[in-house]
Amino acid sequence: MSPELVEAPPAFDPVKVGFFRFRRILGKVLVTNDLGRHRLLSEEDFRRFAAGEIGPDDPAYRALCDDGFVRDRMDFDVLSRAWAERHRYLWDGPNLHVVVVTLRCDHRCVYCHASSVRLEDRSTDMTEETARTVVDRIFASPSKALTIEFQGGEPLANWPIVRLIVEEALERNRREGRSLWLNLVTNLSLMDDEKLDWLLERGVNFCTSLDGPAQLHDRNRPRPGGGGHAGVARWYREIQKRTKRRAFRIDALLTVTRNSLDKPREIVDSYDELGARSLFLRPLNPYGTATASWSKIGYTPEEFLVFYRAALDRVLELNRKRPRARPFVEQTARLFLAKILTDRDPNFLDLRSPCGAGVGQLAYNWDGAVYTCDEGRMLARMGDDTFRIGSAAEGSYEESVAHPTVRALAVASCLDNQPSCSSCAYKPYCGVCPVQCYKEQGDIMGRMPTNTHCRINMGVLDFLFERLQDSGNARIFKTWLKQREGVVGEASYRRA
């Protein structure tokens, strides 16, 4: 275990000093608390703070009081409201509903998490009857905001069912008046003008996969007959042009493979040249084809972090070159920065405690089977049905969300129950995926010191707090948070 997580302060006054955790970053000491507030202190100020020696005459005193680090100077009304705002998702039902309308796909991605089938194999197409029961189950959630996210395979391969669910959901919502978002996760290869017109008229958002320059993209995401990158770029530009002044839009994300590790600058520049407003640097996940191909396309967390640092520095460099133009955002950083610099949690389900599985999201397979999350559905495709919690055609919504598996995942993803997480300075900003822990380590109660996601998240957060110490970087990061929250990206950014 990292010594920063277990080292005790030199002296500690429990009467004067409020609860905190700490970690050393570039010669300074980061202190955080469960409110998500933080301060970077010099070694000497940290020693004085922990010993209760910082008083009203000290320049740092007022900020430490406001942030809840001084025990007898806490404004509990203000701080409790901030805590409630940060954890507002705890009072909602599942708001993200992943719907797999087919497993058919015309790509053969080297890391396919969904274990898709050939385009001509219609055995995994969702039927109209199942689609209607899925819509009923979605609207059984008490959440005031609902996001329906079409997944696959390639959802456009079962276009009639996408149309049916969109129409049914919009009609249902006219009566119920909820905040409804419709997201289509698509490789865009089966898009045409007629489909696009129909989807845009109904306010559907788009998320696609773009792994970088054409050669890299087509190597990671081969399509029989070729032309994968060209098709994505064409439709991306078209949708971006037609939604420039609209409330909905298109976003793209990439999955980093070993093929990507030596190309951070080229990948970032390819997004910039496309006119993208953001990119999302995502590591591989241990599902589907990625598991069998790991020896060829996988890497260590440390190798990913070298890539991530270089890529994020390039993003910052591009932002510095055009300070008055539109900001260019890296989404992993933005999600963490929202937690670090504001009291609003962006509700990204992979970074929640407890996690979103069965609580913040539900996944509906093509046959109507209900899973705690998209990862649970992917694992079922690999032959492990552990995270199946019912069926849209049988039982009830209440039985699914109260399923023992959902309860177990909530307990396993509560960071106070994780020995390493409970003492980590990054606890207010992080989250754990018990399904990933189960897949990687054989137990929903993950072993964090050797957990891939933990090591990556910790490295990313270290890097962000390093870069935040530069005032120019801090200004850029704050502009990212002023932008309108991305509807597609905010809910999930699932595996396109």
Query: How far apart are alpha carbons 337 and 176 in whole angstroms?
Result: 34
Class of domain 93-355+481-491: alpha beta
Query: How far apart are alpha carbons 117 and 107 in whole angstroms?
Result: 9
DSSP structural state of residue 485: P
Q: What is the mean pLDDT of residues 339-352?
A: 90
pLDDT tens, residue by residue, 85-99: 888 888 888 999 999
Position 483 scores a pLDDT of 60
pLDDT tens, residue by residue, 50-81: 999 999 999 889 999 999 999 988 888 888 88
Position 91 scores a pLDDT of 82
Is the pLDDT reported for residue 10 higher than 80?
no
Please provide the DSSP assignment of 97-117 as one string. Answer: EEEE---B-S---TT-TT--B
Q: What is the mean pLDDT of the chain?
A: 92
Is the pLDDT reported for residue 366 higher than 50?
yes
Write the CB contacts of 68 (distance below 8 Å, at least 6 apart in sequence): 18, 33, 35, 37, 74, 79
Is the pLDDT reported for residue 361 higher than 90?
yes
Query: How far apart are alpha carbons 353 and 365 in whole angstroms?
Result: 25
pTM score, whole prediction: 0.93
pLDDT tens, residue by residue, 204-218: 999 999 999 999 999
Enumerate the domain spans of the chain: 3-86, 93-355+481-491
Report the share of the chain in percent with pLDDT over 70: 94
